[in-house]
Every structure is written in C-alpha cells, then in structure tokens.
C-alpha cells in the first residue's frame, strides 16, 4: 500500500464514509491511500464510499458546508479546493 501524500481537511464522516467492516463512524483518514482507519476495528479499511460513490455536485456540497480542501501531509499546508480544481482544468473542445 502506498502512503498518502494528502488527505481531505474535513473528516471522512463529513463525506458520509463509514467502516465497511462494522459500519461504524468512529473513523479517520488512514496513512495509506484510498483507506480509512477504524478506531473500533483497529484496522485500515477501504470503507464505504459515501458521497464519493456517485456524482458530486460541488455547488450543493459547498452550500451544505462540505469542502474538498486538501492537507499536504509533508508540508502541513492546506490547498483550497478552488486551487487544486484548476491545476488540470478539463480541455475544452474547439470547433473547427
């Protein structure tokens, strides 16, 4: 398993992620990519995807206080969602 380089600033519970083993919400981000840590099971587990299981309407999420800011684990700095969303913007189709 690869170690994380970043994690979301908000808790996995905010994104409705839960443990896939015990279905509990006593969780935090794991040190490993694509995993959560369950304090009850004392295991790293993929968890249940919560809002990441479907399309994510960013505008609605922001209205509900759900943000996608990231913490760079190495530096401890927060990268706001507006910044990382624009790093690789989708290419627009040009008409001939």
- pLDDT, tens digit, 9 for 90 and up, residues 3-57: 999 999 999 999 999 999 999 999 999 999 999 999 999 999 999 988 888 888 8
pLDDT for residue 94: 52
Q: What is the DSSP letter of 54?
A: S
Could you tell me the pTM of the whole model? 0.76
> CA 57 to CA 6: how far, in whole Å?
22
> CA 38 to CA 66: how far, in whole Å?
21
């Amino acid at each position: 398993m690869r170690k994380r380089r970043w994690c979301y600033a908000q808790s996995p519970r905010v994104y409705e992620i839960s443990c896939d083993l015990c279905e509990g919400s006593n969780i935090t981000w794991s040190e490993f990519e694509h995993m959560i840590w369950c304090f009850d099971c004392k295991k790293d587990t993929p968890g249940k995807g919560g809002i990441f299981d479907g399309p994510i309407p960013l505008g609605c999420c922001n209205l509900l206080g759900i943000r996608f800011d990231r913490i760079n684990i190495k530096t401890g700095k927060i990268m706001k969602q507006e910044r990382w969303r624009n790093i690789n913007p989708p290419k627009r189709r040009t008409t001939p």
